[in-house]
Structure 1
Amino acid sequence: MPNDIPEPQAVDSPITRSVIFIVATLSAGQDHASAVRAWCADIGALVRSVGKRVPSGNLSCVCGFGSDAWDTLFGAPRPAQLHPFREFGPSERRAVATPGDILLHIRADRMDLCFELATQLTGRLGDAVSVVDEVQGFRYFDLRSMVGFVDGTENPTGREVPEFTMIGDEDPEFAAGSYVLVQKYLHDMTGWNALTVEAQEHIIGRTKLSDIELDEGVKPSWSHSSLTTLVENGEEVKILRDNMPFGRPGAGEFGTYFIGYARSPAPLEQMLENMFVGRPPGNYDRLLDFSRAVTGGLFFVPSATLLEALAERDPQAAGVNVSASEPPDDASASASASASASAEPHQEGSLNIGSLKGNRQYE
């Protein structure tokens, strides 16, 4: 890779057997913000140090930052399309926004590697952050989701991966960065397992055993497959999923942690709108009759090159009032969530993301 092209973070790491997802909020105060900035320079070295102990373990870590946290920690410039998570859907079927300033996506083929790296990373942060969600996921047989179907079949591969996941000329200061959206879903497995296999296949849009997509004449328009397939100018728009099952059978908890990477938030949010609102409105994803989203966050993943450089970023030098950017109180957070929920939806039939050829200009 030429020296003038930033090195991306490990967004396209191979699917592994184990994962830890950590979402944390930033503690108030400039000392805490300074600690997090300094920590940015340590992440790569910690991944290398822990991973070296088991070279075959495929250890990797992706770190992302939420919109408010970016302003507090780094100031201007900021990623062009970074904004708070946008909620979608009616109250009984809602893609909810939950607190989150920092995301860690830690992957390996051994949970001990994930555990050790998570311990080292969070230990360095100390009281500069508060962990608000932590999920340990696992590979389920042949890449099955918790509901028994193969997950991630239509992920981009090869040269498609950077084309759909890495920022290019449309935001050059943040080239080789990505946007990532996460949600934690809990499933009603009793209700789901009461369905026939045929009914489940119609909801997913694929055969359960062979993972073959149903014919268009058979697959309902409200199937998960139909509503998460996006087409712009005759070309399919893809995201990179690395979803993982998790659960506690003794507590009756069965879940899927959704994580999707993309070059812009637009396709990620269009998929959520299609699922939770419907395409057209009311024609929603019937998988949501058995799956409930309990968290939601949108983060920006800087390139590995920029992540290390952010340790030296001084937001005050850029004219940012750090104290004004500290996490809002509950009333402000509620107002912000309401504003996000009432944001203009995408226009039906257009993702507003421009051409899929070359360097797409996301709007």
Structure 2
Amino acid sequence: MREPGSTPHDKLYQPGIFEGVPAVARFVSFTLTAGADAAAIKDALTRLTPLVDGSDVVLGLGPSLVKALGAEIPHLHEFPDFSREGVKVPSTPGTLWCWMRGSDLGDLLHVTRKVQKALAPAFTVRHALDGFRHAWQEGGHGHDLTGFEDGTENPTGEKAEEAAFAQGLGDGLDGSSYVAVQQWVHDLDAFEALGDADKDHAFGRRLSDNEEIEDAPETAHVKRTAQESFDPEAFLLRRSMPWMAGMQAGLMFVAFGRSHQAYEQQMRRMAGHDDGIVDAMFKISKPVNGAYFWCPPMREGRLDLRKLGLGVT
């Protein structure tokens, strides 16, 4: 891990969000221990913040945790249940989330243990999942386990900053980000049973060259989630990664926005709330959880938790 304070000081956001997808990662969620009060929570967060540089460890706080501290963050709310007839999109609200980023899973295990000890006894681990890059192309994107490139439509540069980070909200909020975290479990047998054309049409791109298919069906994932097709436009900064546990595998969908609005626009359309057309992804994969978190900004290389009554530690 980097030494505290070693991250760039000229940006207000946690830099790992902007840096992209690491070689390996751990997605770890924590829940409050019964009886933990605001004082115990603040003590735990005070111990935690020196371990969170925003790059090797990215931190997100759930709405219930913010409320437990007697604070309020604009635009932050719990993950809605987007389910409708024939489509299940569960809501599993989270308390505290850490995205551990690196190149060695063994190292990330030790980082996780340090974070776990810092948060105890007020917090306990609820869920931990390891992610990795697949078929990574240097200077490009990784691939989903279906073989399709992931993140093709990600904004870059200033457009990525505009999409992913809050601006114009004031000190302690500018540079923060609102993240949607959603674990999808793939049915790879169902996907592999599709013909080549059906695979391409499910995504709306050709697997062979990643080119978008103009006459793809309306159920194609690319058409369902075309960011510029919404009003207002729904741009997100995706940092999703494949995962596997035993013989189960899928995609840990992680998307950062300046609020939750863009994600909700996309998820509602995917589930068919807008026009009754369901994204083809639901035929080969399903979400098993979903939560929202607020990722605090940085100030002078450290987490800025002023809005939680903790100041800059």
TM-score higher than 0.5 here? Answer: yes
SS of residue in 2 equivalent to 1:40: helix
User: Matches of 2:234 and 2:188 in 1, distance apart?
Assistant: 31
Report how far residue 120 of structure 1 moved: 0.8
Shift of 1:36: 3.5
**Other structure's SS at 2:250 match:** strand
Query: Which structure 1 segments of 5+ residues have no match?
Result: 49-57, 315-363
The Cα offsets for residues 283-308 of structure 1, whole Å up to 9 and x where unpaired, read as: 11011012111111011111123845
Q: Name the SS for the 1:231 alignment partner.
A: helix
Alignment check: 8 A CA contact 1:145 1:245 kept: yes
Overall identity of the aligned pairs, in %: 27
In the TM superposition, residue 147 of structure 1 has moved relative to its aligned partner by: 1.7
Counterpart position of 1:12: 18
**Moved >6 Å (runs of 4+):** 232-235
Contiguous gaps of at least 5 residues in structure 2: 1-6, 137-141
Whether 1:65 and 2:61 are equivalent positions in the alignment is yes
Q: Does 1:260 align with 2:266?
A: no
d(CA) in 2 for partners of 1:30, 1:313: 17
Q: Report the Cα distance in structure 2 between the residues aligned to 1:298 and 1:228, rounded to whole angstroms.
A: 19
Q: Report which of the two structures shows the higher radius of gyration computed on alpha carbons.
A: 1
Q: Does 1:129 align with 2:123?
A: yes
1:105 aligns with 2:99: yes
Cα deviation for residue 43 of structure 1 reads: 4.2
TM, length-normalised to structure 1: 0.75
SS in 2 for 1:103: strand
* Residue-by-residue CA offset, 1:7-35 (whole Å, 9 max, x unaligned): 2112212321101001111123345x434
Asked if the contact 1:229/1:236 (under 8 Å) is kept, the reply is no
Do the aligned partners of residues 83 and 311 (structure 1) sit closer, same or farther apart at CA in structure 2, a change above 3 Å counting?
closer
Contact 1:242/1:258, CA 8 A, preserved across alignment: yes
The aligned amino acid for 1:201 is: D
| Matched position secondary structure for 2:79 | coil
**2:264 alignment partner in structure 1:** 269
Deviation at 1:37, TM superposition (A): 2.2
**24, 29, 33: which one aligns with 1:27:** 33
Counterpart amino acid of residue 182 in structure 1:
V
- Closer, same or farther: CA 296–59 of 1 in aligned 2, 3 Å: same
Name the amino acid aligned to 1:70.
Answer: V
Q: Partners in 2 of 1:200 and 1:271 — Cα distance? A: 21
RMSD (Å), alpha carbons: 2.7
- Aligned residue identity for 1:257: M
Written as runs of structure 1 = structure 2, the 5 A alignment for 1:1-363 is: 7-10=12-15, 11-31=17-37, 33-43=38-48, 45-47=50-52, 60-73=56-69, 75-76=70-71, 78-90=72-84, 92-142=86-136, 143-170=142-169, 173-215=172-214, 218-231=215-228, 236-248=233-245, 251-280=246-275, 282-305=276-299, 307-310=303-306, 313=309
Q: Is the 8 A contact 1:64 1:104 kept in 2?
A: yes
Q: Classify 1:127/1:233 alpha carbon distance in 2 versus 1 (closer, same or farther; 3 Å).
A: closer
Moved more, 151-160 or 122-131: 122-131
Distance 1:288 1:25 in 2: 29
Q: Report if aligned partners of 1:27, 1:129 keep a CA contact under 8 Å in 2.
A: yes
Does the Cα contact within 8 Å between 1:243 and 1:256 map onto a contact in 2?
A: yes
Contact map agreement 2:179 2:295 (CA 8 A) in 1: yes
CA 207–6 in structure 1, closer or farther in 2 if over 3 Å, else same: closer
Matches of 1:140 and 1:255 in 2, distance apart? 12
